Amino acid sequence: MLSSGASMLDVAPLHAQATTSVGATMSGRGAPQVSASDYARAEALIGWNARELVVDDAVAPRWIPGNRFWYRNRGVRGYEFLLVDATTGAKRPLFDNARLAAELSQRADTSYEPSNLPFRDITLTDDGRAIQFELAKKKFWSCDIVAYTCAGPDSVPQRQVSEVRSPDGKWVAYERGGNLFVRGVGGGAETALTTDGTPDNGYAVANVGCCQQVTNVRNKTELRPYVLWSPDSKRLVTHKWDQRNVRLMHLLETKNPAPVLHSYRYALPGDSVIPTFEYHVFDLDAKKGVRINTPAIDAVNTSCCWLGTDTTWKDVRWGSNSSEFFFTAGKRGFHELTLMAADTRTGTARPILKESGKTYVETNQNSGGIPNWRPLNGNREIVWWSERDGWGHLYLVDAGTGAIKNRITSGDWMVSDLLWIDEVQRYAYFTARGREPGRDPYYRFLYRARLDGTSVALLTPENADHNVSFSPDGKHVVDAFSRSDTIPVSVLRLPTGAIVRELQRADISRLLASGWTAPVAFTLKGRDAQTELRGLLFRPTHVVPGRSYPIIDYIYPGPQVGSIGGRQFTVNFGGNARALAELGFYVVQVDAMGTPGRSKAFHDAYYGNMTDNGIPDHIAVIKQLAARYPEIDLDRVGIFGHSGGGFSSTDAILSFPEFFKVAVSSAGNHDQRSYDFTWGEKYQGLMRKFSDSTDSFDSQSNWRKARNLRGKLMLAYGTLDDNVHPVATQLVIDELIKANKDFDLLVLPNRNHGFAAEPYMVRRTWDYFVRNLLGATPPDGYVLKSPSP
């Protein structure tokens, strides 16, 4: 066993270069010629293709009883499932792929290859003897991985995504028609815990928030209900979601012979009615419930955006027993958050502390992250995360009085994720950013701090970003660390940081042989010429001396995440930047001011002015890159993005037409007034009406700038996008027509919000930049192949 001081594993940057010259073929000093073979070489480097060339990638553990975990891995012979005993570090195949493939092929009357079994995810029974998986849509199979016998859907109870099992494994809870039911796992009659619920005012309903409502209905997708069982399985807490009288939105599904209308509840900024909810607790033995006696709570959340994606139970915590639970209640506008405790027998709730701010209050800067607070010490204390001093830090709070007993952490750095609390030794374990001098401020490192605030210790010294998972008992840690320019290394550690064993390190030799190269990480100054910004630059593998190159900015402006996002090694950088570079472009990504991961002030940079989008920082960075790389042509700058990136890329070409010449903007929320109320009201602020019939959201609307268009703009949207409604793009289209501006439009029938990586959309984006920025003709009708499932 290595001590933490002796565990410095190799994280040296990759320097290997491809032996082949890829990229657009250059013809003299004129425009490059882009052929089908150039597209084929770029296609080989698209994320969904390149990932197949990486062997033994980072470990993503799935913990199971017995201090064990399993994970799916791509090995040298294809995909495999591996089981690890965390106590000993022993690793073995979870099952014999060949035997399972043979049995499953016979039972299903289909031929399956051992290296490509027909499932990516499984459910492993607690005894580790059998696996369940979905072979066809909603057709679940079970295979005994000791006797190697498989049973098909006719003889296997069809488990539902919409069932939530109790911790003791004896009960499941589920929602139907707005009411909550329970039944025994082994079958038997169901018990209705509620009878007064409806779909618009119902218990545990999951089809809530801004997104995927139409998609789920259309695809008959079952969603996990909003239920959280107590640790002793005696009670469960849920919400009653009230969206009566919330605005109805509508979408048309393209269908033969006539379209189908889909309607759904969706509140917009400034609406007088928004969704609200109340908490209810049910006693399993008594089959009775009690309503928690708070006023209806505004449907806002503390990590990023929506209740529907950042689920309710993230804002709810059971205490040490089933007599009390804790929750946070937010206010519309996100300026105020109250931590509450509720007595499950009486329904009485009491406030513990209130957090407020001039902008928005969060409990984790990570998009979708678990809120950073936990009850402990028999419900007498709370570990609480706050940005009250300008940085995200942990505080120890008296749960009875709400008084801060002491700070746990402090300094000009940020606690990222609270992972585990050792109540016996009185330590908090967490990842943090920006504490280690001379290192990338976005890298996460694992630390532990005494709850009395007397010490903070670094546990993962390797100079890389650490993705950490604790075992349920807190006795072991899986740490997968890497950077954009280093291979992933996965190790099993003790909570002291000591390494038990190296689990695996990635092999990317086939990836490098394909022509893939790591991006160049850079540090440059923002718009103020002082603030350091971090970014990535992707260059063509083969750069021709003396030739100038267009540069394309891939943008996602935040505020909940930046253009780069995570700092781990990946072959799937945003917008398939590596592949796009191979067509003859320089491609840049930068996390501008207004994105998370740094100080509160950095994150708040354009609060109330969403039209900023960090674009002045992007321009400043591109100009500095051109000074560093003279081959970059500042007269040929493009930009593209999806969703928030669609909003900001259109904003860029309309607000800075002298700088950005070509833009591709898909699914953009071009006016926050036509987007979900939680988003605009969190980052633009509560809507204020002005005397001249305008309001505080006018400045951020792209359609008001349509007359500024000079360059080439392609807009795209999906007709069933229930996240960003098509009207957001249609408003821009209407104003462009009024201003007599030429533009290009791509409408994708029956697509929801997530079409950015669809092969056709990727190919059309390539074509647009090749034609309008590179000045070349793309290959006619090139077909990108769909990613493997």
CB 591 within 8 A of CB 442: yes
Please state, for a pLDDT cut of 90, what percent of the chain lies above it. 81
C-alpha to C-alpha distance for 599 and 594, rounded to whole angstroms:
10
For residue 712, the cross-strand partners are 662
Which run of H or E residues covers position 336? strand 336-343
Query: In the prediction, which pLDDT does 574 show?
Result: 84
CA distances from 215 to 204, 692, 754, 767 (A): 19, 39, 11, 29
Identify the CA nearest to 319 among candidates 239, 408, 237. Answer: 237
Query: In the prediction, which pLDDT does 158 show?
Result: 56
Which run of H or E residues covers position 639? strand 632-642
Provide the pLDDT confidence category of residue 691 given band limits of 50, 70 and 90.
confident
Inform me whether the pLDDT recorded for 20 exceeds 80. Answer: no
Inform me whether the pLDDT recorded for 221 exceeds 70. Answer: no
CA-derived radius of gyration, the chain: 27
Residue-wise burial string across 707-742, b where 16 or more C-beta atoms lie within 10 A, e elsewhere? eebebbbbbbbbbbbbbbbbbbbbbbbebbeeeebe
Provide the pLDDT confidence category of residue 219 given band limits of 50, 70 and 90.
low
Name, in order, each residue with C-beta under 8 angstroms of 95's C-beta and a sequence gap of 6 or more: 81, 131, 143, 145, 148
For residues 68-93, give the mean pLDDT. 94
For residues 362-375, give the mean pLDDT. 89
For residue 282, the cross-strand partners are 236, 289
Inform me whether the pLDDT recorded for 187 exceeds 80. Answer: no
C-alpha to C-alpha distance for 353 and 671, rounded to whole angstroms:
35
Inform me whether the pLDDT recorded for 747 exceeds 60. Answer: yes
Q: Report pLDDT digits (tens) over 446-460.
A: 999 999 999 999 999
For residues 193-217, give the mean pLDDT. 82
Inform me whether the pLDDT recorded for 17 exceeds 60. Answer: no
For residues 647-658, give the mean pLDDT. 98
Provide the pLDDT confidence category of residue 42 given band limits of 50, 70 and 90.
very high
Provide the pLDDT confidence category of residue 13 given band limits of 50, 70 and 90.
confident
In three-state secondary structure terms, 440 is: coil
Residue 9: count other Cβ atoms within 10 Å of its Cβ.
14
Q: Report pLDDT digits (tens) over 618-634.
A: 999 999 999 999 999 99
Rounded to 5 degrees, φ, ψ at 407 are -80, 145
Q: Report pLDDT digits (tens) over 766-776.
A: 999 999 999 99
424's tokens: 């016996």
Provide the pLDDT confidence category of residue 308 given band limits of 50, 70 and 90.
very low
C-alpha to C-alpha distance for 779 and 40, rounded to whole angstroms:
10
For residues 326-338, give the mean pLDDT. 95
Query: In the prediction, which pLDDT does 101 show?
Result: 95
278's tokens: 């109340």
Name, in order, each residue with C-beta under 8 angstroms of 754's C-beta and a sequence gap of 6 or more: none
Inform me whether the pLDDT recorded for 29 exceeds 60. Answer: no
Which run of H or E residues covers position 107? helix 97-108
Mean pLDDT, all residues of the chain: 91
Q: Is the pLDDT higher at 26 or at 232? A: 232
C-alpha to C-alpha distance for 300 and 334, rounded to whole angstroms:
7
CB 181 within 8 A of CB 175: yes
Residue 751: count other Cβ atoms within 10 Å of its Cβ.
19
505's tokens: 């390190």
C-alpha to C-alpha distance for 501 and 671, rounded to whole angstroms:
51
Identify the CA nearest to 745 among candidates 720, 764, 725. Answer: 764
Q: What is the 3-state secondary structure (H, E, C) of 447-500?
A: EEEECCCCCEEECCCCCCEEEEEECCCCCCEEEEEEECCEEEEEEEECCCCCEE
Please state, for a pLDDT cut of 70, what percent of the chain lies above it. 92
Q: Is the pLDDT higher at 106 or at 303? A: 106
Residue 350: count other Cβ atoms within 10 Å of its Cβ.
12
For residues 54-64, give the mean pLDDT. 95
For residues 351-368, give the mean pLDDT. 92
Query: In the prediction, which pLDDT does 157 show?
Result: 61
The single-letter code of the amino acid at 94 is L
Provide the pLDDT confidence category of residue 188 given band limits of 50, 70 and 90.
confident
For residues 404-426, give the mean pLDDT. 97
Query: In the prediction, which pLDDT does 27 show?
Result: 39
CB 571 within 8 A of CB 634: no
Place of tokens 């640790």: 231
- Axis crossing angle, helix 759-772 with helix 36-43, rounded to the nearest 10: 130
For residues 233-249, give the mean pLDDT. 96
Rounded to 5 degrees, φ, ψ at 674 are -105, 15
Q: Report pLDDT digits (tens) over 480-524.
A: 999 999 999 999 999 999 999 999 999 999 999 998 999 999 999
For residue 182, the cross-strand partners are 173, 191
For residues 641-648, give the mean pLDDT. 97
Query: In the prediction, which pLDDT does 209 show?
Result: 63
| DSSP one-letter string for 383-432 | EEEE-TTSS-EEEEEETTT--EEEES--SSSEEEEEEEEETTTTEEEEEE
Inform me whether the pLDDT recorded for 15 exceeds 60. Answer: no
C-alpha to C-alpha distance for 86 and 477, rounded to whole angstroms:
8
Query: In the prediction, which pLDDT does 545 show?
Result: 94
Instruction: Please tell me the chain's helix, strand, coil percentages from 3-state DSSP, rounded to the nearest 5.
Output: 15, 35, 50
For residues 355-378, give the mean pLDDT. 92
Identify the CA nearest to 391 among candidates 406, 374, 411, 408. Answer: 411
Q: Which of 4-18, 184-198, 399-413, 721-735 has the lowest mean pLDDT?
A: 4-18
In three-state secondary structure terms, 623 is: helix
Query: In the prediction, which pLDDT does 310 show?
Result: 47
Inform me whether the pLDDT recorded for 155 exceeds 90. Answer: no
C-alpha to C-alpha distance for 75 and 96, rounded to whole angstroms:
14
C-alpha to C-alpha distance for 567 and 581, rounded to whole angstroms:
20
Q: Is the pLDDT higher at 339 or at 135? A: 339
Provide the pLDDT confidence category of residue 737 given band limits of 50, 70 and 90.
very high
Using DSSP bridges, classify how beta strands 744-748 and 712-718 pair: parallel, antiparallel or unpaired: parallel
Provide the pLDDT confidence category of residue 639 given band limits of 50, 70 and 90.
very high
Provide the pLDDT confidence category of residue 134 given band limits of 50, 70 and 90.
confident
Residue 348: count other Cβ atoms within 10 Å of its Cβ.
13
Rounded to 5 degrees, φ, ψ at 188 are 100, 180
For residues 374-398, give the mean pLDDT. 97
C-alpha to C-alpha distance for 721 and 718, rounded to whole angstroms:
5
